[in-house]
């Protein structure tokens, strides 16, 4: 909201990628020479056929894997220059929602959400909810409230449905009030209806809080309706970079052709 409201906020660049290249071993490069940027508050859909390197690109953007060449600047900080502490401080303002929910199965929902605060805090008090400080528990409960799961706080994470798990993962990502979120096919593991609900919930929350989002989806409809902008990856290059309203069905179809 804040950032949408001011014209200045629109100009801030949250993610800037320059000539990014990545290959695994001696295989052909997954992608090379990618250039794009994402403005604050934007919600960008990264689309492309299976195996075109979407997940790899997302990981490079968060510095989870290093590109072979090129530069990523995230929230105004160049990733390659960062030492351990500065890197963690930057990551405390980012988050990842994966294809699977990636919760710790044997711990409670509440403990899993409190883990989302580990970027800002450290130590045993943030390992399980029973030891956590009152503010941390309150913050986690507030995040669970947002995804409508406060009443399941003490349920074990492996006793949730797929949709519930993914909502807990969203609460964990949001609990530290991130500036920049990456979501890699957040509803790929869900049935269509649960996927629809999770996507709608996720997008309404990030828009309400003004979080910048880069997400992938195999669902063209999701990409077009939730993304303000489409980045199309094909053959290791950016084939589409346009506002979603301006992308034609034919262009989308060619990506997968």
Candidates 5, 24, 35, 248; binder of ligand ADP (CB under 6 A) is 24
User: Is 26 a binder of ligand ADP (CB under 6 A)?
Assistant: no
Distance CA 152, CA 159 (A): 10
Candidates 3, 15, 34, 48; binder of ligand ADP (CB under 6 A) is 48
Question: Burial, 77: exposed, middle or buried (Cβ in 10 Å; 0-12, 13-18, 19+)?
Answer: middle
User: Is 255 a binder of ligand ADP (CB under 6 A)?
Assistant: no
> 195: part of which helix (H) or strand (E)?
helix 192-209
Read off the DSSP letter of residue 156: B
Nearest to 215 by CA among 80, 95, 103, 118: 95
**Least distance to ligand ADP from the beta carbon of 188, Å?**
10
Please list every residue from 120 through 139 that binds ligand ADP, using CB under 6 A: none
Please list every residue from 11 through 70 that binds Mg ion, using CB under 5 A: 55
Distances 146 to 48, 128, 129, 168, 173 between C-alpha atoms, Å: 31, 21, 18, 10, 12
Q: Which residue has the tokens 């990506």?
A: 255
Q: Would you say 99 or 177 has its CB closer to ligand ADP?
A: 99
Q: Would you say 49 or 77 has its CB closer to ligand ADP?
A: 49
Evaluate whether 186 touches 215 at the Cβ level (below 8 Å): yes
Q: Would you say 39 or 91 has its CB closer to another protein?
A: 91
- Residues forming contacts to another protein in the complex (CB under 8 A) are 62, 64, 87-98, 100, 102-107, 111, 115-116, 118-120, 122-124, 126-128, 158, 169, 172-173, 176, 178, 182
């Amino acid at each position: 909201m804040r950032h949408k409201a001011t014209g200045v906020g629109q100009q801030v660049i949250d993610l800037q990628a320059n000539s990014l290249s990545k290959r695994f071993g001696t295989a052909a490069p997954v992608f090379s020479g990618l250039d794009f940027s994402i403005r604050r508050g934007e919600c960008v859909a990264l689309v492309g056929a299976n195996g075109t390197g979407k997940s790899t690109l997302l990981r490079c953007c968060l510095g989870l894997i290093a590109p072979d060449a090129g530069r990523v600047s995230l929230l105004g900080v160049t990733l390659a220059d960062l030492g351990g502490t500065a890197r963690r401080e930057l990551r405390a303002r980012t988050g990842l929602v994966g294809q699977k929910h990636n919760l710790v199965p044997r711990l409670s929902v509440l403990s899993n959400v409190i883990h989302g605060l580990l970027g800002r805090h450290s130590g045993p008090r943030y390992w399980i909810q029973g030891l956590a400080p009152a503010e941390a528990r309150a913050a986690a409960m507030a995040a669970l409230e947002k995804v409508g799961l406060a009443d399941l706080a003490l349920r074990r994470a492996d006793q949730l449905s797929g949709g519930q798990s993914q909502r807990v993962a969203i609460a964990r990502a949001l609990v530290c009030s991130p500036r920049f979120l990456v979501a890699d096919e957040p509803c790929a593991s869900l049935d269509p209806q649960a996927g629809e609900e999770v996507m709608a919930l996720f997008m309404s929350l990030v828009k309400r809080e003004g979080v910048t989002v880069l997400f992938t989806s195999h669902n063209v409809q999701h990409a077009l309706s939730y993304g303000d902008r489409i980045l199309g990856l094909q053959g290791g290059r950016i084939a589409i970079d346009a506002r979603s309203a301006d992308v034609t069905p034919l262009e989308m179809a060619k990506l997968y052709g």
